[in-house]
Amino acid sequence: MKIKPQAPEILRIPYESFDVSVLPSNAREPGSEAFDNAVLIYFAAKYAKKNFDAAVTCSDGIIRVLAWARGGLEPKAYVVGLLQHRAIEEALPLLETMDEMMEDADIAYNRGICLSEMGRFEECIEALERCLRIDPSYGNARVGLGVAFARLRRSKEAEQVLREALAADPHDNFAARNLAAVLANLEKYAEAVPLLRQVLATKPDDPTASLALGECLEELGPDQKSEAIEVYKRVMTRFADTPLADAAIAGLNRLANSDLHRDGTNKPRLDAVMYMQNTLERFADLSQQEVGQIVLEIARLGQSGLAVNDPGKRYHLKALPGDFSGLELVSMMHVGVLMFDPKTAMQTGLDREYEIAVSLYGDKRQL
């Protein structure tokens, strides 16, 4: 059975709460050198009786004591063990006391990261800035600082700090990925793309960077569309059954929908109206279950993207005879989904065409 190392003891005692009667009569004035020395001797002797070593500081009106068992783990090694086991809440009080007692960049950094993990980003920034004052070359602290700024939506500060981190170490992919995310939030997509490519060159299965690359390429417009589609398809395949795959599918749908009115006139597509009229008539003779099967099959086909502007590209459905164009299938799915729930917010870009088709279908039935 593995025995857990004995935890260090920490004390934080305000001067006004300390019983000065335990000190020599000439060393009872808080803030004096005699007081500081007497306090150190008092706690060193007290913990020596327990076979402990102790570090003692007196500053800012507070006595701080850090004590640990002789022959056991020293406080820094102990707290590293806690962090390795993700015992963040247990580690933080130790880190806070140690950070207040000593100038140690590792301690300040780990304190900042603990605070970041707990969502306390303002305090995290203070700790990481202290780390960089102690050691300006501490690259991980600069990246962590950039992440904290980003979490607080202080994007300009995040961009500056992460650029500094990447300038210091151009191969730091963690900095590159986080800088890319900040640039994307600032709509600097062209600058984000090469950073994401850098990350994926060494970690091609990085799911976050893969999806972000697809989204940035999508935002860059038609010239990057074909690559965006390939990236989304890759994400959908490699990370199936995850929220990332759902996001990639949504991206493919957006790209497909952007084609529907790509001539820029924003006029209704009469071919889509016609397809919807035909679908309304076809579905009127089918059961709800049969319509559901058709919609589900089209949705599955749509995961790989449908060529809505290429009538020569034909698709087949198991549930219906014949072959269909991509636009015809999208129109059919639009009608089918709204038959189940008319309040559904469709993302096909064909809402106006649907309204026209329903109106024409209703007029035709009244003849």
The answer to whether residue 282 is domain-embedded is yes
The answer to whether residue 1 is domain-embedded is no
The answer to whether residue 283 is domain-embedded is yes
pTM over 0.75: no
Domain that holds residue 283: 270-366
Residue spans of the chain under pLDDT 50: 1-3, 363-367
The answer to whether residue 304 is domain-embedded is yes
Query: How confident is the model at residue 2, as a pLDDT?
Result: 47
Query: How confident is the model at residue 242, as a pLDDT?
Result: 80
Q: How far apart are CA 291 and CA 340, in angstroms?
A: 9
Cα separation values, 307 from 112, 137, 207, Å: 50, 52, 26
Query: How confident is the model at residue 261, as a pLDDT?
Result: 55
The answer to whether residue 82 is domain-embedded is no
Query: How confident is the model at residue 247, as a pLDDT?
Result: 83
Query: How confident is the model at residue 164, as a pLDDT?
Result: 96
Q: How far apart are CA 144 and CA 190, in angstroms?
A: 24
Query: How confident is the model at residue 137, as a pLDDT?
Result: 95
The answer to whether residue 326 is domain-embedded is yes
Query: How confident is the model at residue 257, as a pLDDT?
Result: 66
Query: How confident is the model at residue 263, as a pLDDT?
Result: 52
**Residue pair 66/101 in contact by the 8 Å Cβ criterion:** yes
Query: How confident is the model at residue 1, as a pLDDT?
Result: 43
67 strand-pairing partners: 9, 54
Q: How far apart are CA 179 and CA 146, in angstroms?
A: 8
Give the tokens for residue 194.
Answer: 């090469």
The answer to whether residue 291 is domain-embedded is yes
Query: How confident is the model at residue 262, as a pLDDT?
Result: 54
The answer to whether residue 228 is domain-embedded is no
Query: How confident is the model at residue 178, as a pLDDT?
Result: 94
Query: How confident is the model at residue 366, as a pLDDT?
Result: 41
Torsion angle in degrees (nearest 10) through CA of 241, 243, 244, 245: 40
The domain tally of the chain equals: 1
Torsion angle in degrees (nearest 10) through CA of 80, 82, 73, 135: 20
